[in-house]
Amino acid sequence: MPDLERNEWQRDGQSSFGLGMQPSPWGTRITIAFILILLGGLFYTFVLPKLTHAYRVNLTQAKVVEFAERLDLQYRESGEYIRFGGSVYDGAEFEQDENVIVLPVKDGWGNSLVVAYLSKATLEELYVFSAGPDGIFLTEDDIMCRQYTGVRKTLKRVIKHGIQETAKNWAKGLVRGLKDEIFHKSDGED
């Protein structure tokens, strides 16, 4: 006959933890599940947002730099950038003009990138912006890349072209001089 006084957690008179009872296998499983859920919640709350933020920042930096470099290759002989044919940005952060254009590329937070073209007397600049995590342009968290063209690139082309022309003319002159010298000497010796 079973002992009615006996607790169902006790078995064969053996005890666990000196309490005179042994834990049920279900109790252990529930405890492990609770600990795993707690650790998962802590990971989701504290670790995952930091990993996600770092990933979004790195992704956005790569997109901003890539697009800035692609746009930097598109300029006229005069050094002026060829404007990207997107829609004009109408936000309050920038003065509204045709030089601030929304790009068809999204940053890590789902916001469109913007390119701003600035012209100065001897220099033209382009800035590719991401508004960053806060979604507002011209704040601390913006991600930006600057490129420039104008006199510097035009001068490079002019100098390169000038050096090539000078070298070509110098070589022609040298050949003519040598040719004249050779024929002149040969005419004088005969």
Domain for residue 83, yes or no? yes
Number of domains in the chain: 1
Domain for residue 124, yes or no? yes
- Residue 144 or residue 155, greater confidence: 144
- Residue 162 or residue 85, greater confidence: 85
Domain for residue 87, yes or no? yes
Reading across the β-sheet that carries 112-119, which strands appear in turn?
Answer: 100-106, 112-119, 123-130, 143-150
- Cα separation, 159 vs 70, whole angstroms: 24
SS3 157: helix
- Statement: residue 103 has pLDDT above 80: yes
What is the residue range of 63's domain?
50-150
CATH number, domain with residue 123: 3.30.700
Tokens 């063209």 locate to: 149
Domain for residue 5, yes or no? no
Q: What is the pTM of this model?
A: 0.54
Domain for residue 136, yes or no? yes
| pLDDT (tens digit per residue) in 30-77 | 889 999 999 988 888 887 777 788 889 999 999 999 999 988 888 777
Q: b/e string for 88-101 if b means 16 or more Cβ within 10 A?
A: ebeeeebeeeebbb
Q: Which DSSP category does 45 fall into? A: I
Domain for residue 122, yes or no? yes
| pLDDT (tens digit per residue) in 1-22 | 455 554 555 555 544 555 555 6
Percent of the chain exceeding pLDDT 70 equals 63
Domain for residue 96, yes or no? yes
| pLDDT (tens digit per residue) in 78-102 | 777 888 776 667 666 665 567 888 8
- Cα separation, 19 vs 90, whole angstroms: 73
